[in-house]
Amino acid sequence: MLEGYHSPMLYEVPPLISLHAFESAARHGSFAAAAKELNITQSAISHRIRHLETHLGYSLFERSPRSLRLNDMGKAYLPSVRQAFNEIASSTSAIFGSLKRKTVTIRVPVTHAVLWLAPRLESFLNDHPDIDVRVGSALWPDITPGDTSDLEIRFGDGNWENSEIILLQQETAIPVCSRHHIDSYGQAKDLQELAARPRISTLGYDNLWLRLFRGIEVDTASNTNNIWVDTTLAALELAASGSRCAIVPKNLLETAAVASRLVPAIDAEVTMHEALYLLTPISKGQISPQAQLFKQWILDQA
């Protein structure tokens, strides 16, 4: 028995195959039509419904040589049976996907899922209405395994095992700030002036500020209350809604929602050691046709 599961007196639940036959026959008003839908014989439908009526102790249909109608007990019982099947079908589709539809599962870092993939994804869905896309994200993809994914977009140095790796985009980082920052501090005239202002640093990319300010003397005492975050998405939001500067990948500033809230803090940029890559797990062997379509679409986008 599954852990945490307690049986709800199973002897009170009628056989599901009999309930299925009852719902189909009631919907069609015909044993023959129900048999065709369920791909069984008409006598099997009749037998299953008789079994259900015996189990319940009540007749559910008014039968005649030329017609089949629900009686009062059948009419009272049908809505509950239909609702139960609808709920099972709905939850099955929501969790596992429709058996008649194709699905692609892709893992993407949360920042790139929101700012890089999301603005583009609608075009793929419009071109392929029969394919569902499941997007999973992780803060630290190097730590969290992605074996359940068909494809993965990953930001890093490109040195990963057990995957076919394709470069999508090289990245440069630029310092950005809100217009509120410009109103409060004015436009920075040079890196020395920018270095004295409050900043936001992203874990994993904290060397970007150091590389930007390389060659100038930085007074770290004036920046003792800097903010550290674990995603670029958080850094962007904090910069857009406050008075601090962030240094972020330039390609993530393409979306209108971000571009309208942030401006370059100074005309300077840093070439990043990390880049955006597309990974295809080797362990899965040949990927599905729908995953191959999505893979080609991503390459076209990049």
- Among the candidates 96, 111, 132, a domain finishes at 96
1 band by pLDDT with thresholds 50, 70 and 90: very low
What is the residue-averaged pLDDT of the chain?
Answer: 86
- pLDDT for residue 216 is more than 80: no
Strand pairing partners for 108?
137
- The backbone torsions φ and ψ at residue 268, rounded to the nearest 5 degrees and listed phi first, read -155, 155
Total domains in the fold of the chain: 2
pLDDT at 64: 86
- Evaluate whether residue 3 is within a structural domain: no
Mean pLDDT, residues 183-204:
91
- pLDDT for residue 98 is more than 80: no
One domain for residues 51 and 118: no
Cα distance between residue 144 and residue 138, in whole Å: 7
- Evaluate whether residue 1 is within a structural domain: no
One domain for residues 141 and 220: yes
Q: Where are the alpha helices (DSSP H) in 108-230?
A: 110-112, 118-127, 179-185, 191-195, 207-212
Report pTM.
Answer: 0.62
pLDDT at 147: 57
Cα distance between residue 106 and residue 113, in whole Å: 10
- Evaluate whether residue 179 is within a structural domain: yes
- Evaluate whether residue 77 is within a structural domain: yes
One domain for residues 71 and 168: no
189: exposed, middle or buried (Cβ count in 10 Å: 0-12, 13-18, 19+): exposed
One domain for residues 79 and 146: no
- pLDDT for residue 280 is more than 50: yes
pLDDT at 256: 67
Mean pLDDT, residues 4-14:
58
pLDDT at 223: 52
- pLDDT for residue 2 is more than 50: no
- Evaluate whether residue 148 is within a structural domain: yes
- pLDDT for residue 299 is more than 70: yes
Cα distance between residue 173 and residue 199, in whole Å: 15
Angle at 109 between CA 232 and CA 300, to 5 degrees: 110
Secondary element (H or E) of residue 69: strand 67-70
Q: What percent of the chain has pLDDT over 70?
A: 87
Residue 68 DSSP SS3: strand
What are 262-277's pLDDT values in tens digits? 999 999 999 998 899 9
One domain for residues 30 and 105: no
Q: Which residue has the higher pLDDT, 12 or 117?
A: 117
What are 146-180's pLDDT values in tens digits? 457 899 999 888 888 888 999 999 989 999 999 99
- Among the listed ranges 66-80, 115-129, 190-204, 247-261, which one has the minimum average pLDDT value? 247-261
Residue 79 lies in domain: 10-96
Residues 6 or more apart from 115 whose CB is under 8 A from it? 233, 236, 252, 254, 255, 258
One domain for residues 111 and 74: no
What are 14-56's pLDDT values in tens digits? 899 999 999 999 999 999 999 999 999 999 999 999 999 999 9
**C-alpha dihedral over 57, 63, 69, 74, to 10 degrees?**
0
- pLDDT for residue 143 is more than 50: no
- Among the listed ranges 43-57, 115-129, 278-292, which one has the minimum average pLDDT value? 278-292
133 band by pLDDT with thresholds 50, 70 and 90: very high
One domain for residues 84 and 122: no
218 band by pLDDT with thresholds 50, 70 and 90: low
Q: Give the CATH number for residue 145.
A: 3.40.190.290
One domain for residues 78 and 173: no
- Among the candidates 52, 76, 96, a domain finishes at 96
- Among the candidates 72, 96, 120, a domain finishes at 96
* 197 token code pair: 């202002």
pLDDT at 4: 47
- Evaluate whether residue 155 is within a structural domain: yes
Give the number of other Cβ atoms within 10 Å of residue 53's Cβ: 18
18: exposed, middle or buried (Cβ count in 10 Å: 0-12, 13-18, 19+): buried
Question: Are the C-beta atoms of residues 209 and 247 closer than 8 Å to each other?
Answer: yes
pLDDT at 179: 93
